Amino acid sequence: MNRKNKHVLGRWIGALTAAGVLWPATAGATGVSAGTSIDATATATYSNGATNETVTSNTVSIRVDEVLDVTVASLDGGNVTLGSAGAFLSFQITNTGNGPEAYELAVNAALGGDDFDPAVTQIAYDSNGNDTYDAGVDTVIPAGGATPEIDADDTLRVFVVTQLAGAPGDGDTAKVRLTATAATGSGSPGTAFAGQGEGGGAAVVGSSTAEDQAEGTLVASVGAVTLAKSATVLNSFGNADAIPGATVTYSLVASVSGSGSVSGLTITDPIPAGTTYLAGTLKLDGSALTDASGDDAGQAGAAGISVSRGSVPAGATRTITFAVTLD
């Protein structure tokens, strides 16, 4: 090959190399959006005697396939207190793929290695974007359902709403796991789903297997009630001898221990045989209650007394007193 032909060949190879046709440099396509068409056309210039010529190749188009990837992370940063009013765990789902994807959600609240299994009442996503669960506002994801499509590199906050279940002790912990799986499919990395990617290309499972999970921890805040009963006797002679006609005043002290409140607290006590309830003596924490039902927290009569206190916080006490006469 003469010097002129070598020179022309060198220019031709240089042009093709610059166009990326020969020996292309390795480049990661992770960040390229699924469905994007990558178009490449090469150009060659050469000298043909007294003229310079330019030719172009055909255009090669490659459609970028969709990568199915996901990460799930807990957003709580520690244990979440679960009391009688319930609690929610917060998770973030990140679409680490390169195309929009919905994710099927599954919750497991019966994991080993913890103290109790809470009840899961709802899964919802943060549809109003205020980073906290709003009952009746945030959109509920039905059991076995999926999130809306999440754009590539975007996130969605998901709430797992729980209630106490069983009989946990105060301070007992429970683990709850949220798993997100690409709705298109999952499997070993490299598994391809033909025609199911964005733009009609393939959807290819990424390194996450198109599935990920994270756990949150609940700590039970439970109140426990102890009830102590005592009696004092006063007769007409001014002493404590229990003779017929003497007045017996009963005191019932309900104490709530633990770190959580109790709800629906109702205290009842039947009138003992051989005694008669002394009308108008029912009191709560020193304040008089009527004997009639429906007008305040208590009621009383020949059969017994009943006082409803509703929700009572930990550390609180409620004292009920009433009197009877010995027959």
CA–CA distance, 55 with 46 (Å, rounded to integer): 9
Q: Could you count the other beta carbons within 10 Å of the beta carbon of residue 155?
A: 15
Confidence category of residue 186, pLDDT binned at 50, 70, 90: very high
Nearest to 123 by CA among 138, 110, 103: 138
Please provide residue 180's backbone torsions phi and psi, each rounded to the nearest 5 degrees: -115, 130
Mean pLDDT score of the chain, rounded to an integer? Answer: 89
Confidence category of residue 278, pLDDT binned at 50, 70, 90: very high
Confidence category of residue 24, pLDDT binned at 50, 70, 90: very low
Spatial contact of 212 and 179, defined as CB atoms under 8 Å apart: yes
Average pLDDT, integer, range 64-93? 95
The reply to whether the predicted model has a pTM over 0.75 is no
Nearest to 178 by CA among 165, 161, 166: 161
Nearest to 35 by CA among 151, 187, 146, 126: 151
Which segment of 11-15, 180-184, 190-194 scores lowest on mean pLDDT?
11-15
Digit-coded pLDDT (tens) for 224-261: 999 999 999 999 999 999 999 999 999 999 999 998 88
Quote the pLDDT of residue 30.
53
Q: Which domains does the chain have, with CATH numbers?
A: 3-23+30-64 (no CATH), 67-220 (2.60.40.10), 223-326 (2.60.40.2260)
Q: Two tokens at 274? A: 């051989």
